Amino acid sequence: MELRHLRYFVAVADEKNYTRAAERLHIAQPPLSRQVQQLEEELGVLLIEKGSRPLRLTEAGKFFHAHAQELLDKAADLKAMTQRVGKIDRKFAIGFVASTLYGLLPEIVRRFRNRFESVEISFHEMTTMEQLQALKEGRIDVGFGRLKSEDPAIRRIVLREEALIVALPVGHRLAALDEPLRLADLVQETLLVYPKAPRPSFADQVLATFMERNLVPQQVQEVRELQIAIGLVGAGQGIAIVPQSLQGMIRTDVVYRPLDDLKAVSPIIFSTRHMDRSPELVNMLEVIYEIYDELGIAHVKQAL
Supply the minimum distance, in Å, between the C-beta of residue 160 and ligand BEZ: 5
What's the rounded Cα separation, in Å, for the pair 281 and 81?
12
Q: Which is nearer to ligand BEZ, 35 or 131 (CB)?
A: 131
Supply the minimum distance, in Å, between the C-beta of residue 296 and ligand BEZ: 13
Q: Which is nearer to ligand BEZ, 203 or 246 (CB)?
A: 246
Q: Which is nearer to ligand BEZ, 13 or 105 (CB)?
A: 105
73 within 8 A of 133, measured Cβ to Cβ: no
Supply the minimum distance, in Å, between the C-beta of residue 263 and ligand BEZ: 18
Supply the minimum distance, in Å, between the C-beta of residue 172 and ligand BEZ: 26
Pairing relation of β-strands 254-258 and 154-169? Answer: antiparallel
CB atoms within 10 A of CB 254: 22
Supply the minimum distance, in Å, between the C-beta of residue 233 and ligand BEZ: 21
Supply the minimum distance, in Å, between the C-beta of residue 96 and ligand BEZ: 7
Task: Report the interface residues with ligand BEZ, using CB under 6 A.
Answer: 100, 103-105, 108, 144, 159-160, 245, 268, 288
Q: Which is nearer to ligand BEZ, 264 or 288 (CB)?
A: 288
Q: Which residues contact 24 (CB under 8 A, 6 or more apart)?
A: 11, 14, 15
Q: Which is nearer to ligand BEZ, 61 or 243 (CB)?
A: 243
Supply the minimum distance, in Å, between the C-beta of residue 80 and ligand BEZ: 21
What's the rounded Cα separation, in Å, for the pair 148 and 89?
32
Q: Which is nearer to ligand BEZ, 245 or 278 (CB)?
A: 245
Q: Which is nearer to ligand BEZ, 255 or 284 (CB)?
A: 284
